Chains A and B, each alone.
Chain A
Amino acid sequence: MGFKNAPMSTVKPVENKESLFSAEVRAEIDKAIAQYPEEWKQSAAMPALTIVQDDNCGYLTEELMDKVAAYLDMPPIAVYEVATFYSMYELKPVGKHKVCVCTNVSCMINGSDRIVDHMENKLGIKLGETTEDGKYTLKEVECLGACGGAPMFQIGNKYYENLTPELVDSILDGLE
């Protein structure tokens, strides 16, 4: 019995790929593409979506997903599948600072409920919402692999651990 494994490719590759993204974004995506076998440009779908999302204030639009598809010679549906499957891609606008707070078991038994309540009261929004000024989004996430520092959250690249309401205040107030 034979098994097949081939990338999904478009029938008609788009020309003028230069027009899809800025030179910087293209350079970053090209760097990602170079990490994979030549015929598997599709492997760069995840990094490309991340690059494009970061370049667009932290969220993706259908138009951007279509452009990623065009750039990687993929059918748009294949890119939508990826973007909707993984929780780190945002399909709606998010605040300037996305606060990803873990509420899984280790964090929960170390008081993540209290941290969530505190942030909801402080910012006047619920989990999953964005403040009116577009500055903060609160997002509930699953275990981020830092249970030794529970309760914790992530903002941008950074993990903040052993949170207390006071520490949360100083972190959030310190963001520009």
Chain B
Amino acid sequence: MANEVCLRTLGLDRPWDIDQYRSIGGYEMLKKIFSEGITPEQIIEEVKTSSLRGRGGAGFPTGLKWSFISRNAPGQKFVVCNSDEGEPGTFKDRDILRYNPHQLVEGMIIAGFAIGATRGYNYIRGEFIEPAQRFQDAIDQAREAGFLGENIFGSGFDFDLNVHLGGGAYVCGEETALLESIEGKKGQPRYKPPFPAHFGLYGCPTIINNTESLASIPMIMEKGGQWFKDLGVENSGGTKLFSISGNINNPGVFEISMGTPFFELLEMAGGMKDGRPIKAVIPGGSSSPVIPGEQMMDLTMDYDSIQGAGSMLGSGAVIVMDDTNCMVKVLERMSYFYYEESCGQCTPCREGTGWLYRVVSRIENGQGRPEDLALLDDVTEKIAGRTICALGDAAAMPVQGMLKHFRDEFEYHIEHKRCKVGS
């Protein structure tokens, strides 16, 4: 099953236009919720039934997240969409913003109704200027058509939506850093608890969901949670957007059923460039530990399968590498990323990411020492689990994965002061 949920508009010629979205039944679900008196509790139940898990990377059950909000508690509540797509390898939310922005708008309104929020923000990474404009145009069209604003379709429900652009900080994809950023501060993650459901944006109860999660909601409501769940496999319901890139012929975003074999996804992506052998795959964004290519060919694309291989499905960002790639060089680049993006708040991450980068870099550049691999093991252990947010873990895991599967390449670099690839 392909392109059934978030990318179902791809066949239209102007899929971002409200008339075209409505021509395939867009916003009908929202109207139905009001005309048939579907209750917030029923919506949350349906989302729970769908088994939708957070598509940003953590995989937390969306319906459960929503149920943490006390809908009837007094005061403002917020729906926040996380379009701060920054995990290296991930480029799926950009396509939702560009090619199906209305479904995201509709999903956010339904989410607002479900938790009793009247305001929403979509935090879009600052570089996505054109996709953000598409989303803003969708908001304007939806407001014009009466889907946003006060007393939507005489329901007594008010909801309005704004865009907040990021400023180029990976850490703002972490939900509480994102909230800090909307509040006009440095994007440094907060301690949890309290979780955003109790103390979120401006101190008010807030749900934060990934773009893909929220864009899935209208279809889940229209066709039923069970329908969505059945698209996938046990413990991984629905379809998922996979961003596949690297040494392949036809990189891109593919929406396919959870549980699809990896080799099928690779085929859709045109197979390996120049027919070269597959060496390694990063299955879920650069934070997920690498998996050797041969092993990957036997896996399916769902939470349990990838986790069983010692990695994570994460954001569904698949980076495929052929045998011309040096794993030391790849890890050097990834480690630089975490060093560059650490917000500096927690010592293990601020200092540790620098250590990881410098040590991997000296190995790559022929200055490695025999004790360096033990040093890397040690540093990763001292970062993982010792920081406020998951960026520390995200920096440690790729190092651990590379040393687990490609240790010989690192040893070769240290011993021979040159690269094993091509030698």
Measured CB to CB, the residues of A under 8 A from B are 3-5, 7, 35-37, 40, 42-47, 49-50, 72, 74, 78, 81-82, 85-89, 100, 103-106, 108-110, 141-150, 154, 157-159
Q: Does B370 contact A (CB under 8 A)?
A: no
A143 & B337 in contact (Cβ 8 Å cutoff): yes
A46 & B167 in contact (Cβ 8 Å cutoff): yes
Known: A43-B182, A147-B319, A148-B252. A108 touches B333 (CB 8 A): yes
B202 & A40 in contact (Cβ 8 Å cutoff): yes
Max chain A C-beta neighbours (<10 A), residue from B170, B186, B247: B186
Q: Which residue of A lies closest to B84 (CB)?
A: A145
B317 & A147 in contact (Cβ 8 Å cutoff): yes
Which of A43, A86, A100 is within 8 Å of B167, CB to CB? A86
Which of B90, B164, B246, B330 is within 8 Å of A46, CB to CB? B164
Interface size class of B (residues with CB under 8 A): 35 or more
Known: A143-B86, A145-B90, A145-B125. A106 touches B319 (CB 8 A): yes
Which of B94, B168, B286 is within 8 Å of A146, CB to CB? B94
Determine how close the nearest CB of chain B comes to the CB of A107; give it in whole angstroms: 9
B184 & A144 in contact (Cβ 8 Å cutoff): no
Interchain CA distance A150-B246 in the complex, whole Å: 8
Determine how close the nearest CB of chain B comes to the CB of A134; give it in whole angstroms: 22
Q: Which residue of A lies closest to B163 (CB)?
A: A35
Known: A47-B165, A82-B184. A143 touches B199 (CB 8 A): no
Contact with A along B323-353 (1 / 0, CB 8 A): 0010001100110010011010000000000
Determine how close the nearest CB of chain B comes to the CB of A98; give it in whole angstroms: 12
Determine how close the nearest CB of chain B comes to the CB of A174; give it in whole angstroms: 18
Chain A residues, Cβ within 8 Å of B325:
109
Contact with A along B108-132 (1 / 0, CB 8 A): 0000000000000000011111100
B88 & A85 in contact (Cβ 8 Å cutoff): no
Measured CB to CB, the residues of B under 8 A from A are 76, 85-91, 93-94, 125-130, 162, 164-170, 181-187, 194, 199, 202-203, 243-247, 251-253, 282, 286, 317, 319, 321, 325, 329-330, 333-334, 337, 340-341, 343
Chain A residues, Cβ within 8 Å of B130:
157-159
Which of B87, B185, B194, B252 is within 8 Å of A82, CB to CB? B185
B202 & A37 in contact (Cβ 8 Å cutoff): yes
Determine how close the nearest CB of chain A comes to the CB of B93; give it in whole angstroms: 8
B286 & A86 in contact (Cβ 8 Å cutoff): no
Interchain CA distance A141-B93 in the complex, whole Å: 19
Chain A residues, Cβ within 8 Å of B186:
81-82, 85
